[in-house]
């Protein structure tokens, strides 16, 4: 399993004066996008892919890019965050969620059927039980790592939550592009991840108040 724990300081301030943060940016190319687990189609879906199915495939094509190790300042405590993962069209939305430790995720049910959210992950095992449309249940994530969530009613439903101990990560957009801002100047190892597949760490140097470009290809 990929470790999301930053265990050492990888960046070094340039010079004695106050260093200005920079940006790491680039693009992640996916050679293979994992297909969703097939579910039984409804009558409305027969005859071709629905817009929901297309959105699900696009969501699965998003990657997470993050620093393998972060500056010491990344461990300073910040206000707990809040995020949401919806259950819509028998799909977790978004399929991949990236958060920092201490964040509470609200799992909302927007379908007119019952859903359940649970995880057997060692990082954060939990079971929110079953609940109906319009209801939402919270879960706080206090440990860094990868959490895979499921619904015990619908076996095709699954999603990933990546929990980081630092804020230096980003999710790619629809074109595969990403940018990690406010990175202190220094040299870092960067990793790209998608659906259980991760790149080898790539080294990049962020200049004072500058931009470092770094592209990835995941097979």
Domain positions in the chain are 22-218
pLDDT, tens digit (0-9, with 9 covering 90-100), for 43-55: 444 444 555 666 6
pLDDT at position 53 is 62
- Kind of pairing between the strands at 145-150 and 158-164: antiparallel
Reported as a single tens digit per residue, the pLDDT across 142-179 is: 999 999 999 999 999 999 999 999 999 999 999 999 99
22-218 CATH? 2.60.40.420
pLDDT tens-digit readout, 89-118: 999 999 999 999 999 999 999 999 999 999
Give the list of residues 6+ apart from residue 15 with CB closer than 8 angstroms, or none: 208
pTM of the model: 0.84
CA 209 to the chain's CA centroid: 26
Asked whether the predicted pLDDT for residue 124 surpasses 50, the reply is yes
Q: How far apart are CA 109 and CA 111, in angstroms?
A: 6
């Amino acid at each position: 399993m990929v470790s999301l724990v930053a265990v050492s300081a990888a960046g070094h301030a340039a010079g004695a004066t106050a260093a200005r943060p920079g940006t790491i940016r680039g693009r992640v190319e996916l050679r293979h996008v994992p297909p969703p687990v097939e579910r039984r189609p409804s009558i409305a879906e027969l005859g071709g892919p629905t817009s929901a199915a297309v959105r699900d495939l696009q969501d699965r094509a998003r990657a997470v890019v993050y620093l393998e190790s972060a500056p010491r300042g990344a461990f300073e405590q910040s206000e707990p965050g809040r995020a949401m993962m919806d259950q819509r069209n028998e799909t977790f939305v978004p399929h991949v969620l990236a958060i920092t430790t201490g964040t509470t995720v609200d799992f909302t049910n927007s379908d007119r059927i019952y859903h359940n959210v649970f995880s057997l992950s060692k990082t954060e095992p939990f079971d929110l039980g079953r609940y109906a449309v319009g209801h939402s249940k919270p879960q706080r994530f206090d440990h860094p790592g990868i959490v895979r969530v499921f619904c015990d009613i619908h076996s095709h439903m699954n999603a990933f939550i990546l929990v980081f101990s630092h804020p230096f990560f980003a999710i790619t957009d629809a074109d595969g592009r990403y940018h990690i801002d406010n990175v202190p100047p220094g040299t870092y190892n960067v990793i790209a991840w998608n659906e259980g597949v991760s790149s080898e760490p790539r080294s990049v140097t962020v200049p004072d108040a500058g931009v470092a470009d770094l592209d990835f290809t995941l097979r």
